[in-house]
């Protein structure tokens, strides 16, 4: 079942250690088949070097395991909430990449300070409120997804324009059209967090990138007038 998607999700998971985004088994990637209403996710606690495509676990949009010999990721319920709340995303990533976790620990947004950020994220990358005692002692992983969705709703942020979040005192989640794009966004999030950390140690001034420069860089890569690269709408005539 979903053998091609299993291979895609496996390949995306294997990018996490290669990109320096995970320590030990602290991360996971999933990908969804919207037509079938099923997603594929990494099994829980299995070292990356031991993973095989056939180990990926198939789950439905209620969080039930449909196929697989192993337990799915402990974060499966978070992925389930995100797929239901954001019906246009195709992949989700969770890591504990170090600089992003530092911002999450401090409960500080990753601010948009430069064009590196603006190429991928249109807003400051938001940090959620930490989960309450009741949320942690209840359906913890589902509540993690709920607090992400609430953060975007409360702050009026487009989840496609800013495809990532920090869960307060926990860490980053990203998403994208595919599992591979979600991994790309996870790496960019960690890179801009690291850049921002260093920039913010050098000055106490407000160094947010101006809106006109953010717009220029974001819309070079996104939307109907994008021209970056070879395949965007206006690439050939720019």
Number of other CB atoms surrounding residue 55 within 10 Å: 16
Rounded (5°) CA angle 59-4-172: 55
Number of other CB atoms surrounding residue 133 within 10 Å: 7
Give which of 82, 57, 91 is closest to 71, Cα–Cα. Answer: 57
Active site residue 140: no
Q: What are the CA-CA distances from residue 27 to residues 80, 97, 115, 121, 190 (Å)?
A: 16, 9, 27, 21, 14
Active site residue 197: no
CA 150 to chain centre: 16
Q: Is the dihedral of CA 175, 217, 22, 135 positive or negative?
A: negative
**Cα separation of 88 and 146, whole Å?**
17
**Catalytic pick among 11, 33, 55, 119:** 119
Give which of 178, 177, 148, 143 is closest to 160, Cα–Cα. Answer: 177
Query: Which of the residues are catalytic?
Result: 119, 228
């Amino acid at each position: 079942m979903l053998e091609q998607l299993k291979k895609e999700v496996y390949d995306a998971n294997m990018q996490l250690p290669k990109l320096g985004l995970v320590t030990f088994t602290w991360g996971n990637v999933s990908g969804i088949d919207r037509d079938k209403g099923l997603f594929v996710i990494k099994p829980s606690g299995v070292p990356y070097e031991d993973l095989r495509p056939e180990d990926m676990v198939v789950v439905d949009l209620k969080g039930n395991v449909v196929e697989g010999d192993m337990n799915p990721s402990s974060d499966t319920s978070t992925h389930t909430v995100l797929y239901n709340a954001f019906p246009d995303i195709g992949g989700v990533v969770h890591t504990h990449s170090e600089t992003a976790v530092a911002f999450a620990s401090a409960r500080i947004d990753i601010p948009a300070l430069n064009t590196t950020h603006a190429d991928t994220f249109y807003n400051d990358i938001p940090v959620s409120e930490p989960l309450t005692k009741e949320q942690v002692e209840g359906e913890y992983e589902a509540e993690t997804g709920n607090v992400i969705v609430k953060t975007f709703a409360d702050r009026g942020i487009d989840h496609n324009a800013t495809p990532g979040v920090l869960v307060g005192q926990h860490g980053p989640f990203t998403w994208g059209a595919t599992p591979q794009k979600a991994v790309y966004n996870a790496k960019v999030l960690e890179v801009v967090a690291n850049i921002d950390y260093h920039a913010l140690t050098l000055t106490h001034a407000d160094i947010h990138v101006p809106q006109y420069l953010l717009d220029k860089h974001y819309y070079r890569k996104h939307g109907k007038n994008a021209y970056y690269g070879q395949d965007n709408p206006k690439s050939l005539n720019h």
